[in-house]
A = this chain, B = another copy of it.
């Protein structure tokens, strides 16, 4: 069973599916963005590889990252927690300490939720953010000659996860990238305040290539990517070399970095004027079958629908093999 097929069923079953599709829903009448993501034990995380404090942080951060992808101001979250009997009170205290800390860092309030029993730990977070930009954000807004900028690294989280799942040594920075990912909220707010025109934006929760290719398709424009410009933690390369892996697989196809990608015209880039973002590429011509061209200097690789379909990140049973 594939996530995409299920999402299609949902879209076809609902009378109004107009809100679905982006990282979060925009409620025009309220000026609010809403997102709702769940972390399930042995799918999104394993109690063998994370602690409850960081689990609480991550459950919130992945949702704040969705709000950041809409360049919105996070305000409130609800938390629905399901836990087996084996979990003790101290663990729940640690979980909520993590939730509390990351919320404080971004001035977000925990307003409710519920707690129930379950066989596996499950944390469902709904996050509400406020639209503070006077322009619009959509995956379909990439246009010819727009610059592609990113805040955050690519590949660190998936390399860290690979190490954790296969009991391999890696630098702490990679494990931390997976266990306690950063939501680029401050960078998103900076963009919301300084940009003055419609832009495309997305987080890399399902991988860098996923974000770029989905924007290319939604905008019907091809994309040129300068590989040498992509922020990559040198430890990703070191780890890959030590284990005979291709580090580009982590950089392009690994998920859960939660870096922030924005695609915008040069004047907007100038008014943004931020050191938090790196320019990694440029939008090419309009194209009904768009591709992402990865320029390695020596040669260029073309990513099209068939390649994307084969390699793209599947959120479905990620960490099952651990048990």
Contact = CB atoms under 8 A, between A and B. Distances in A.
A42 B6 contact: no
A135 interface: no
A104 B120 CA distance: 33
Interface in A9-63: 9-10, 13-17, 19-20, 24-25, 27, 30, 32, 34-38, 40, 42-44
A118 B36 contact: no
Interface residues on A, range: 35 or more
A292 B109 CA distance: 35
Contact of A13 (B15, B38, B100): B100
Interface in A53-91: 75-76, 78-83, 85, 87-89
Q: How many copies does the complex hold?
A: 2
Contact of A36 (B37, B96, B113): B113
Contacts of A126: 34, 36, 78, 80, 126
Contact of A117 (B79, B97, B320): B320
A128 interface: yes
A34 B76 contact: yes
Contacts of A111: 19-20, 25, 27, 34
A89 B11 CA distance: 13
3 pairs of A and B residues whose beta carbons are closest in the complex? A126-B126, A36-B78, A25-B111
Interface of A: 1, 3, 5-7, 9-10, 13-17, 19-20, 24-25, 27, 30, 32, 34-38, 40, 42-44, 75-76, 78-83, 85, 87-89, 92-93, 96-97, 99-100, 104, 109-120, 122, 124, 126, 128, 315-317, 320
